[in-house]
Amino acid sequence: VEFDGPCMKTEVPGPRSKILAQQLESIQSVVQVNFFCDYEESKGNYLVDVDGNRMLDVYTQIASIPIGYNHPALTKVMTDPKNMGTFVNRPALGMMPPEQFSEKLVNGLMAVAPKGFSRVQTMACGSCSNENAYKAIFIWYRVRAGVLSFFFQVPGCPDLTLLSFMGGFHGRTLGCLATTHTKAIQKLDVPSFDWPIASFPQLRYPLDQFERENAREEARCLEEAEDLIVKWNQKGRHVAGVVIEPIQAEGGDNHASFDFYTKLRGITKKHGCAFLVDEVQTGGGSTGKFWAHEHWGLDDPADIVSFSKKMLTGGYYQKDSFQPDKPFRIFNTWLGDHTKNLLLTEVIKVIKTENLLDQAKRSGKVMLEGLYDLQDKYPHLLSKARGIGTFCAIDVKDEDTRNLLLLKARNKGKTLSIMNTIYDVVFFLSGSDQLWCSRNTMLIFSWISLM
Amino acid sequence: VEFDGPCMKTEVPGPRSKILAQQLESIQSVVQVNFFCDYEESKGNYLVDVDGNRMLDVYTQIASIPIGYNHPALTKVMTDPKNMGTFVNRPALGMMPPEQFSEKLVNGLMAVAPKGFSRVQTMACGSCSNENAYKAIFIWYRVRAGVLSFFFQVPGCPDLTLLSFMGGFHGRTLGCLATTHTKAIQKLDVPSFDWPIASFPQLRYPLDQFERENAREEARCLEEAEDLIVKWNQKGRHVAGVVIEPIQAEGGDNHASFDFYTKLRGITKKHGCAFLVDEVQTGGGSTGKFWAHEHWGLDDPADIVSFSKKMLTGGYYQKDSFQPDKPFRIFNTWLGDHTKNLLLTEVIKVIKTENLLDQAKRSGKVMLEGLYDLQDKYPHLLSKARGIGTFCAIDVKDEDTRNLLLLKARNKGKTLSIMNTIYDVVFFLSGSDQLWCSRNTMLIFSWISLM
Ligand code: FES
């Protein structure tokens, strides 16, 4: 039976959530907890909380539920006795992989490999995916330099760097954190690497009214990035790679044109830097293509593409040349979690057989139209409606207004989304279990430019 | 039905493993792959490979299988329909935990919390456990310094450091890697932090013949550690914490006396450094106590204790004061994997009801006696037999000899362990599914001092 809409019984968090939060508080900080969920009862786009509130969920566990709650295809994986051994015994995938490992990779990750990539390394989350991609880049850069032998005099720990962008988010472990530049609180008090950071374009909206200004802004950022590479190379702290998201997500849903990325890719090639495209948030289809970077239309868009979240497993695709020269240079105990590969294989089947990429495109159009209408109707509150596929966002006037909107919507069971218009749009999207869950529509209202 | 011993059909890797490795090679590096496994057929201490070879497995997925393969208690968790929602829908535990989250923590991680710890933070692997423990230490040090306000003039990224030990292993992400000092290849080409590193005692065996020398060696290392703290504090690069394993595991099974750890704990208190005990390898019971640091017999042994591997989930216990002052300072999308908490709760029940800690003590004694006998019998090959519980090791003359021993044993179905004597010991341990799996007996023969 499918849910036909939200159904609210209490304010959120309700009394049962509050009791559970009190209990948890004796063991853990609960300042980040929104409410407690009943994951058995949740279904499709509807999240049910422990007070029986059924909410339209377009936040989907920080954008990590690819085809809705309790999708029957996934339940089937779990009840297949053939899979029991995989779920109960977690293998050290790098040393003793299970019999079906290759097959699941071929039908899972490799079935959606970006053009030009024939190799994939699994990891367990977005952070270790990027951390290890960074290591692969440093090793590649040094090994290549060793062959060319024109840079380095001494072996050991070199002074290599990665270039990242203001507003970028690539994770919170110490290596990733050196390339993450969103909120100050994330980096405060934690030692970091001194690596170059370039400006990310701040586009003005609506795009068609600011074509010239935006082109100038992007040219400025590209010039700055190239300058940084040249300068840091000159001072002996070589830029081994450039890391960027196809859409800055945690940093506020910042888009740049496909032309910007095309030119940036050119710069990396010119200066011999690896190009790492972080698709942890954007990968999995919500932009209407399986990988957001496919929109650029390039033959050679990247050297490494990292993923996690909606892909269920973490990991990265890599060009052959990024395979380290020796064993155990990229390694850890589990190297991912094969249970996630089993589930992902089914997710990918569902996305293909049900044409969910097309649906994301269609739904995204409706959603973006809805956002345009909203900002026309409330120009004092809303601005900068933007998006590709269902990966949409709009800016709210200020933080208080945003929080009020979020809270009101949630208590109307249109959780984490907002207002009737959007609700209708998203509701339209969620008529069936098989329908596409938007990436993270909460972000539509959660990112703000405070001017 | 329980397996009554190994049963070998081919050499290992066998023909089917070789074919699968060829297939995988087109997608991934396979240089680290030993052989492919049939995890459905494996049981207890016996790992079955894809060629039907049944091997006594004391390597247990790099020491990460706590109570043997396909333990019925774990299979039951998987087939309980009530748990389906947890396995199919991975929650963002920090924001929307499932209803049973507190309860599973109380009956799982908190049921085995080290004395003095009432708080636990879940993570997904050993690396993010340590990375976030490091961050918690830096934040704690700065917040405390802020209150006392005698160190720091400026906010922002400080020049704080962590002290670690030669031969220590704490993970391979960039933050962890700065404290990992085992093989050079792990760090080569990767940028690192410049943090202080102290010597770890190199004890001479048999211990009772070298009491005075060993006491002197430990005193030397303690003095060096304290000197480093003082010097680095003086030069303004304050040592916020000290990180150490109760037994150095990846670095070669290096033990120090309980007195050494007691004194080191004293030094950290004297100088206001946090003390992080990394129990990723040692935690879970194989030393005969649930946590190896309990052997020290201290009332206040640590400020943070990190874990992973046999605990199935990663994470760390922390003193209240290490809880960051603001939300989202320690955070990521998933903050662990609740499916592992469900399994761990059962593992802990099994360990308790079947008195597996006692069994680890008893078995360890037998094993260590066996190792003593072996080194008496082959003094030209073996030396330095040592261990607590089943966390035992012995040194082999050189790398070639070790590899030969490993290979011969494996092809006799006494995989990853070695020789009849040991085999008999371990076989004695593995007569039942409910018997204790040794930590990682492969290590008995895999670590060598090449003099
Ligand atoms: S760092 Fe990715 S799971 Fe731990």
Give DSSP secondary structure letters for B290-321: SSGGGGG--SS--SEEEE-GGGSSEEEEE-GG
Whether the Cβ atoms of residue A180 and residue A245 lie closer than 8 Å to each other: no
> Are A170 and A176 spatial neighbours (Cβ–Cβ below 8 Å)?
yes
Helix A258-270 crosses helix A211-234 at what angle (to 10 degrees)?
20
Judge contact between B67 and A112, C-beta under 8 A.
Answer: no
Residue A445: pLDDT over 50: no
* C-beta atoms of B138 and A189 within 8 A: yes
A309 part of the active site: yes
C-alpha torsion angle, residues A83, A103, B87, B62 (rounded to 10): 80
**Token pair belonging to B273:** 């450094």
Provide, as residue numbers in chain B, all residues whose Cβ is less than 8 Å from the Cβ of A161: 191
d(CA A40, CA A30): 22
B74 Cβ under 8 Å from any chain A Cβ: yes
Helix pair B356-377, B420-429: axis angle to 10 deg: 170
The verdict on whether A262 is a catalytic residue reads no
* pLDDT given for residue A310 in this prediction: 92
The reply to whether residue B128 touches residue A333, judged by beta carbons under 8 angstroms, is no
Mark B380-399 as b/e (b = at least 16 C-beta within 10 Å): ebbbbbbbbbbbbbbbbbee
pLDDT in tens, A237-272: 999 999 999 999 887 788 999 999 999 999 999 999
Q: Are A367 and A422 in contact (CB under 8 A)?
A: yes
Model's pTM, two decimal places?
0.92
Residue A50 pLDDT class (50, 70, 90 cuts): very high
Q: What is the pLDDT of residue B413?
A: 66
CA torsion sign for A284, A288, A294, A296 is: negative
The counts of H helices and E strands in chain A are 14, 11
Query: Quick check: A32 and B331 CB within 8 A?
Result: yes
- d(CA A385, CA A371) in angstroms, rounded, equals 6
pLDDT, tens digit (0-9, with 9 covering 90-100), for A177-229: 999 998 777 788 899 999 999 999 999 999 999 999 999 999 999 999 999 99
* Residue A434, Cβ density class (10 Å: 0-12 exposed, 13-18 middle, ≥19 buried): middle
Catalytic residue among B57, B278, B337, B395: B278
Instruction: Kindly state if the Cβ of A313 falls inside 6 Å of ligand 1.
Output: no
pLDDT beyond 60 at A149:
no
Residues of chain B short of pLDDT 50, as ranges, are 148-155, 415-451
Q: Is A318 helix (H, G, I), strand (E, B) or coil?
A: strand
pLDDT over 70 at A157, yes or no: no
Contact B371, B444 (CB under 8 A): yes
The nearest alpha carbon in chain B to A123 belongs to B125
CA A37/CA A3 separation, integer angstroms? 16
pLDDT score recorded for residue A147: 52
Instruction: Give the residue-averaged pLDDT of A15-34.
Output: 94
- Which atom number of ligand 1 is nearest to the Cα of residue A129? 2
pLDDT of A176: 96
Please report the atom of ligand 1 found closest to the CA of residue B173: 1
Is B424 designated active site?
no
Please give the angle made by the CA atoms of B197, B201 and B207, to the nearest 5 degrees.
170
Q: Does the pLDDT at position A168 exceed 50? A: yes
Given A169, A200, A275, A290, which residue is catalytic? A169
Q: Which of B167, B164, B223 is nearest to B198 (CA)?
A: B164
Q: Is B366 exposed, middle or buried (0-12, 13-18, 19+ CB in 10 A)?
A: middle
Q: What pLDDT score was predicted for residue B253?
A: 82
Q: What's the A127 CA to ligand 1 centre distance in angstroms?
A: 6
Give dist(CA A240, CA A233) in Å, integer: 9
Tell whether omega for the bond before B206 is within 30 degrees of 0, i.e. cis. Answer: yes
Question: Of A121, A156, A163, A128, nearest to A142 (Cα)?
Answer: A156
Longest Cα–Cα distance of chain B, Å, equals 69
Nearest Cα residue in chain B from A107: B27
pLDDT of A432 higher than 80:
no
State yes or no: is B275 an active-site residue.
no
Q: CB–CB of A85 and B42 under 8 A?
A: yes
Question: What is the structure's pLDDT at A251?
Answer: 76
Give the mean pLDDT of A359-386. Answer: 83
List the beta bridge partners of residue A276. A243, A304
